Structure 1
Amino acid sequence: MKIQLWSIGKDNDPYIKDGIAIFQKRLQHYVDFDLKLIPTVKQAASLSIPELKKQEARLILDMLQPQDYLVALDEYGKMLNTIQLSEFIQQRANAGVRQVIILIGGAFGIDNSLLDRAQLKLSLSPLTFPHQLVRLIMTEQLYRAYTVLNREKYHHQ
């Protein structure tokens, strides 16, 4: 199985980039993982929020393959603890899912057309985090989930 973390927005600040690189390297031991940064829609500042979200959704929908399992990070999504996240990953692998896409939307969230396409809407927290930090948190959480699946000592229960 391959896991990709897609994020709309600018490149990471150096301290975020360094943190992601650490966990990305560790993750490669368990899974084919990739982070894909998707540039912000051109002339985004001149668009209304609904139109911006629609254009971002069209861009993402065009990039998705029909068989991709889409997880949309959304403030109203389901919250999972670490063990549940590891079980979710194992269930997708057992089901023969070839690629899981975890999507961090744009600054104003994810359009409903894209949320409707998602097989899972996931919330990391009721708090709001900067998108760049979410990339780091999600990468670390994936690593943590794989250490749980492999009964390694990184995660303490």
Structure 2
Amino acid sequence: MKIQLWSIGKENDPYIREGIAVFQKRLQHYVDFELRLIPTLKQAASLSIPELKKQEARMLLELLQPQDYLVALDEHGKMMTTLEFAGFLQQRTNAGTRQLILLIGGAFGLDASILQRAQYKLSLSPLTFPHQLVRLIMTEQLYRAYSVLHNEKYHHQ
């Protein structure tokens, strides 16, 4: 299975980039992983929030392939423990998922059309985090989940 973490927004600050690189390197031992940054729309500041979300959704829907398994990160999604997340990844692998997309929306979240397209909605926390930090957290959590699946000592149960 290939996992891609998609995020709308600007490039990562150096400290975030360094942190992601650490976990991305560790993840290579378990899974094909890629971080894909999707630039913010050029005219974003001139659009209403609903229109911005619709245009971002159109762009995302063009990038998605029909067979992609989409996990939308959304404040109303399901929260999981690390062990549940590891189990979820194992289920997707067992189901033959070829490509799993973890999607972090733009500054105002995801349009309803993307949430409808998503096969799963995941919430990290009831707290609000900066998008760059969510990229780092998700990369670390992927590594942590795979270390659980391989009975390695990174995650203490």
Coarse TM-score class (shorter-chain normalised) = over 0.9
**Cross-structure match for 2:106:** 106
Q: Letter of the aligned partner of 1:129 in structure 2? A: F
Distance in 2, Cα, partners of 1:69 & 1:81: 20
2: CA distance, partners of 1:60 / 1:26: 28
**Pairs within 5 Å for 1:52-71:** 52-71=52-71
SS in 1 for 2:16: helix
Aligned equivalent of 1:48: 48
Question: Mind listing any 5+ residue stretches in structure 2 that lack a counterpart?
Answer: none
Deviations 1:66-99 (A, max 9, x none): 0000000000000010000000000000000000
Cα-to-partner distance string for 1:32-83 (whole Å, 9 max, x where unaligned):
0000000001210000000000000000000000000000000000001000
Task: Give the letter aligned to residue 9 of structure 2.
Answer: G
SS at match of 2:146: helix
Paired residue secondary structure (1:72): strand
Q: Could you tell me which residue of structure 2 aligns to residue 13 of structure 1?
A: 13
- 1: CA distance, partners of 2:98 / 2:43: 35
User: Identity over the aligned pairs, expressed in percent?
Assistant: 80
* TM superposition score normalised by structure 1: 1.00
Aligned residues: 157
In structure 2, C-alpha distance between the alignment counterparts of 1:135 and 1:45, rounded to whole Å: 23
SS in 2 for 1:107: coil
Tell me whether 1:30 sits opposite 2:54 in the alignment.
no
Once the two structures are TM-superposed, the CA of residue 107 in structure 1 deviates from its matched residue by 0.2
Q: CA RMSD in A?
A: 0.3
Gaps of 5+ in 1: none
2:83 is aligned with 1:83 = yes
